[in-house]
Structure 1
């Protein structure tokens, strides 16, 4: 039995605690290095987008537009709302998004002016979402993307 004050040694007489501490420090350093690499990659990607916009000022509106609507869930929600006002649970079912993700996306879309929220306080209480005029202005864009996908992506799915 060993006490915490006694050095534990292996057959070669090496301090096992020192090796464990070194291994733990090495693992922590590797994790920190991976996190730093991920942060550097994200910063590089952001810088690349900024550089692209600076190099081609005509692309700036395109880049800005995709930053507002370009996430997967934002596009799915905007597309689903094209058919009119929808209750939260119906939207959750039709998009297969979990409630937390859907709530966050709807909040983002409200803040950017694409979606409006209406609370129906009569029993049963329900929350409805619909496109604002800004959001409705994207409907022709979605139609064009669907036409493009029908023509160009159909071959990929065969």
Structure 2
């Protein structure tokens, strides 16, 4: 996999991650894949994205090992795009973005889609970083240990 990292991002996991999935369309494709979308036409219909942009982002996500392109399960000539284990590991990122959006981008009483735990029927609890003892951890209680 090739990256286009600037010098400050060579040792930063956030920079490297953003280089792969940091644009709107890539994250929305991943979101749709979590919702069961797997065909090019379905991604295009759900997202309203131009074909050339969708083709480019799908190729990049496949090249990065986030999606796998395989023949459709129904035996048709279509290709299916499915999340790899690496792609599945993006679920907490998508949930965190969703929860931030719910908290900061909707007015009181405004309707929005909900992420539900199918086992309980309840909304997914708020994600928060925790200490090794299980206590909520704030950003001010952390620091990045730079590579020297």
TM-score (norm 1): 0.58
Mapped contact 1:84–1:131 kept (Cα < 8 A): no
TM-score with structure 2 setting the length: 0.62
User: Could you tell me whether the CA contact under 8 Å between 1:85 and 1:131 is conserved in 2?
Assistant: no
118, 121, 129: which one aligns with 2:70: 118
Q: Which moved more, 1:113-122 or 1:69-78?
A: 113-122
- 2:139 corresponds in structure 1 to none
The answer for the alignment partner of 1:38 in structure 2 is: none
Match of 1:87 among 21, 34, 39: 39
Give 3-state SS (helix, strand or coil) of 2:82's partner. Answer: strand
Question: How far did 1:123 drift?
Answer: 6.4
Matched with 1:108 is 60
What is the RMSD computed on CA atoms of the aligned residues?
2.7
Secondary structure of 2:60's counterpart equals helix
Gaps of 5+ in 2: 111-148
The one of 140, 145, 150 equivalent to 2:102 is 150
